[in-house]
Amino acid sequence: MAQALQFPNLFGLERSRQDQDSNRRQWSGVKSLQSPAWLKETYDRISALKTLEENWDSYGGLPVAEGAISTTRVVLSNLDIEDMPKPHVAPLPDGGIGLHWRLGDRDVEIEVESNGAIHFLRTTLGHDSTPGDARSLKDVQDVLDWALGK
């Protein structure tokens, strides 16, 4: 089991039990302190989508919604993605964000709608596709694990 980060008491102040419990909760959701080299670049690409204006695709595409941006960041921040390659990031015409990975003969598409809803499509090349709705981060993790053959 990983050890909690310990910070020295530089100023001789006693931390209350409540502060210590709060600190444990803050870090309890962290899957790993390791992140793939591509994560910052992907966050920057997601942030850059904010600049798209209405009709960015000349077909009436909506600007990317803040809800889609924040949900996409939360999803990427809370998944075990160290073994995943960099995803292709693209705006969706409805104001959402699409993430796409190809690993060998497996494709995964994750779509984050403007309201934060998440959908996926898993495809084995040359075979049928399986669409689905992600109701939790575990659902998204399961799709990525499938792509990795786990």
Q: How far out from the chain centre does Cα 20 lie?
A: 28
Confidence at residue 32, expressed as pLDDT on a 0 to 100 scale:
55
**Does residue 21 form part of some domain?**
no
Q: What is the pTM of this model?
A: 0.76
Q: How many domains does the chain have?
A: 1
Structural domain range at position 102? 34-148
**Does residue 2 form part of some domain?**
no
Question: In the structure, what pLDDT confidence band is assigned to residue 138 with cuts at 50, 70 and 90?
Answer: very high
Confidence at residue 128, expressed as pLDDT on a 0 to 100 scale:
86
Higher per-residue pLDDT: 104 or 12: 104
Q: How far apart are CA 72 and CA 97, in angstroms?
A: 7
Q: pLDDT per residue over 82-95, tens digit each? A: 889 999 999 999 99
**Does residue 121 form part of some domain?**
yes
Burial degree of 140 (CB within 10 A; 0-12, 13-18, 19+): buried
CATH classification at residue 70: 3.10.450
**Does residue 4 form part of some domain?**
no
At 89, list the tokens: 């990031």
**Does residue 111 form part of some domain?**
yes
**Does residue 20 form part of some domain?**
no
Q: pLDDT per residue over 48-85, tens digit each? A: 999 999 999 999 999 999 999 999 999 999 998 888 99
**Does residue 22 form part of some domain?**
no
Q: Considering the chain, what percentage of its residues have pLDDT values greater than 90?
A: 67
**Does residue 18 form part of some domain?**
no
